[in-house]
Homo-oligomer: A and B are copies of this chain.
Amino acid sequence: MKIKVVESVLKANDAVARENRRRFEAAGVLAVNLMSAPGSGKTALLERTLAGLGPDVRSAVVVGDLQTTRDAERLQNTAQQVVQINTGTGCHLTATQVAEALESLELAGLHYLFIENVGNMVCPAGFDLGEHVRVALLSTPEGDDKVAKYPTLFLCADVILLTKTDLVAVLDYRRERVYEDISRINPRAPVMELSCRTGEGVDRWLSWLKDERRRRTREVTTG
């Protein structure tokens, strides 16, 4: 009985997600869903990404948090459009919340839509928002044991970013442990190390992102 309810919620979510995806593709927008624990640096990554993509690239951001508009405020100067979703007690974004946010966004002419999910390593992974790309972030101070302990997020990721690498020097952190777990759980996902504070590694991530947009846009055009 409980499972039935969960399934019907997921089915309804997936239908809305498909409609979101159709709208993104019609507008030629690459939709990117950023997922991680709270404090892994999703907003800092967006600040770096928006600045790094340059002024000719037009991006919008949908930010999910339980409360406050702090992340939206941080991003309002770098993103062309920002919508904050407050989930109240909700532990993840849903496709319907994203669809509602789209009412306040102008998709035409955009290159990227970044969706910063609620900080949570478990629940967001279960909900398709209509995105093309799922980015899983894991910051070094969270520890080198998290991939195996919380596989859900990493299983479904298209790319895995190890963030805050500038802190490795002051942590007891064994990189090889993380890579070993990832290679077992999701060997297809590229893994990139970066520090949004120093900027190290950000270029590789930006290249990957641009390639992904080129590839997906071509797919849409030719498909």
> Which A residues have a C-beta under 8 Å from some C-beta of B?
2, 5, 9, 37-39, 65-68, 70-71, 89-91, 118-123, 126, 139, 141-143, 145-146, 148-152, 164, 167, 170
Contact = CB atoms under 8 A, between A and B. Distances in A.
Given A39-B143, A123-B122, A141-B39, A148 B91 contact: no
Given A65-B149, A67-B148, A91-B91, 4 more contacts: A70-B148, A119-B146, A119-B149, A141-B164
A94 to B, nearest CB: 12
A152 B88 CA distance: 9
B151 A66 contact: yes
Contacts of A89: 122, 126, 152
A70 B151 CA distance: 13
Contacts of A145: 68, 70
A70 B37 CA distance: 19
Contacts of A121: 37-38, 119-120
A142 B38 contact: yes
Contacts of A5: 2, 5
A66 B149 contact: yes
B170 A37 contact: no
A146 B66 contact: no
Contacts of A126: 89
A169 B151 CA distance: 32
Nearest to A90: B122
A90 B150 CA distance: 10
Interface centre among A9, A65, A141 (most CB of B within 10 A): A141
5 contacts: A67-B149, A70-B148, A91-B120, A141-B164, A167-B167
B91 A122 contact: yes
Contacts of A148: 67-68, 70
Contacts of A71: 149
Given A2-B9, A121-B120, A146 B68 contact: no
Contacts of A37: 37-39, 119, 121, 142
Nearest to A126: B89
Nearest to A41: B143
